[in-house]
């Protein structure tokens, strides 16, 4: 009897443990499901419309430039890929982060245009207002050991405007949002001369009026003037994205922090400046633009010795997509910190492979998040 009682007690204890373990597992599973559903809902509600440049990139690798009249050989393949700041960022937002992304631009009705449309379809990016009789814009990229140079034909981007001549204007773009999108990004601004000054200023004003957050990245100014930011552009930008060289050239300042202060003094709410292998910084406006005290958030980038840099083309565009993958309708220090971390992780993922718009998974980008864990926050007057 004692043996039977002991066996029965032991079985009851095992059953109780099994029930408790099962209940705990069920609670954890349901919590995980709710979390994933919330994340999916956040992604579904967060979408981005981009106005800007699309290129066909021809990328060649060489440690030196060819001389006139000579033939320089390279042992690496010369690749053709979809490019341009607008499409690069859109590709990562859509494919890597499952964020609904629409690009308004202009491409040619030619073989390169077909190539770009096929890429966009595969990435899940919706192209609007694109077809043009002018041949597609092409950028020849010479990628070296530490930097790259470009030879660019703008093609239909020279005609990209908001005056209705291409069948759409600022109202077409803003009205297409219909509350579904919460962000408007102007990409490759200097590559689209008919968008300079008032046209971009007007669409940014309209977006702000409708409660849509806004951002802009300038890209390289081939005119070397580093201006064309009038017409109400800067006061209607929530985020301006620049690399260190662009920030210094536009602001005429001598270091990134002073450059950031200059942009805030012009009415920009957050100036985000990438610093290459040193990571990135964001300067967040506090109060009126005349009194531009701010919060400075810096995020380092801890590259390991084993990391191999392959191609820096499109690193800034990838950074922007990672940053904008975090909803920024309500600007907080946390949202900016998370934006910097995901921006650096996405940019790092990009420079580790060939091409500016290579499609990678979110999990591939996540592995680089630990590199962007060194965050400091400080106040500046």
CB 157 within 8 Å of CB 138: no
pLDDT of residue 147: 74
User: The tokens of 217 are what?
Assistant: 């990245």
Question: What does the pLDDT read at residue 355?
Answer: 64
Please tell me the total number of residues recorded for the chain in this structure.
381
Contact 163, 169 (CB under 8 A): yes
- Residue that has been written with the tokens 């703008």 in this structure: 154
Which two structure tokens, joined as six digits, stand for 8?
A: 């029965």
> Hey, is 129 helix, strand or coil?
coil
Whole-prediction pTM: 0.84
Res. 305: pLDDT tops 70: no
Higher pLDDT among residues 8 and 215, named by residue: 215
* More confident call, 306 vs 21: 306
pLDDT at 290 over 50: no
Mean confidence (pLDDT) of the chain: 84
42 pLDDT band, cuts 50/70/90, is: very low
Q: Residue 3: is its pLDDT beyond 50?
A: no
Backbone angles phi, psi at 32, to 5 degrees: -65, -40
Task: Say what the pLDDT of residue 186 is.
Answer: 98
């Amino acid at each position: 009897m004692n043996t039977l009682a002991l066996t029965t007690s032991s079985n009851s204890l095992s059953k109780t443990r099994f029930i408790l373990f099962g209940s705990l597992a069920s609670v954890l599973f349901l919590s995980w499901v709710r979390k994933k559903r919330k994340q999916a809902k956040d992604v579904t509600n967060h979408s981005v419309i981009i106005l800007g440049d699309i290129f066909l990139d021809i990328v060649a690798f060489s440690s030196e430039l060819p001389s006139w009249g000579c033939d320089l050989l390279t042992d690496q393949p010369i690749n053709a890929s979809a490019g341009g700041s607008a499409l690069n960022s859109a590709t990562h937002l859509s494919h890597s982060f499952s964020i609904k992304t629409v690009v308004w631009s202009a491409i040619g009705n030619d073989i390169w245009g077909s190539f770009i449309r096929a890429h966009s379809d595969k990435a899940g990016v919706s192209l609007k207002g694109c077809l043009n009789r002018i041949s597609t814009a092409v950028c020849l990229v010479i990628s070296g050991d530490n930097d790259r140079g470009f030879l660019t034909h703008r093609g239909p981007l020279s005609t990209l405007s908001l005056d209705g001549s291409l069948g759409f204007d600022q109202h077409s773009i803003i009205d297409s949002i219909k509350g579904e999108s919460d962000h408007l990004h102007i990409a490759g601004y200097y590559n689209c001369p008919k968008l300079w000054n008032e046209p971009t200023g007007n669409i940014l004003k309209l977006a702000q009026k409708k409660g849509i957050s806004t951002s802009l990245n300038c890209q390289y100014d081939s005119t070397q003037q580093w201006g064309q930011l009038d017409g109400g552009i800067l006061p209607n930008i929530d985020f301006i994205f620049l690399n260190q060289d662009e920030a210094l050239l536009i602001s005429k300042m001598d270091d990134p922090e002073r450059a950031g202060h200059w942009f805030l003094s012009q009415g920009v709410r957050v100036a985000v400046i990438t610093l290459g292998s040193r990571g990135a910084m964001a300067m967040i406006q506090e109060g009126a633009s005349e009194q531009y005290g701010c919060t400075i958030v810096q995020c380092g980038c801890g590259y390991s010795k084993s990391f191999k840099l392959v191609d820096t083309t499109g690193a800034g565009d990838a950074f922007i997509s990672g940053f904008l993958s975090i909803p920024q309708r309500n600007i907080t220090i946390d949202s900016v910190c998370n934006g910097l971390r995901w921006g650096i992780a996405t940019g790092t993922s990009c420079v580790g492979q060939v091409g500016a718009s290579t499609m990678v998974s979110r999990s591939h980008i996540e592995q680089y998040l630990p590199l962007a864990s060194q965050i400091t926050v400080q106040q500046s007057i």
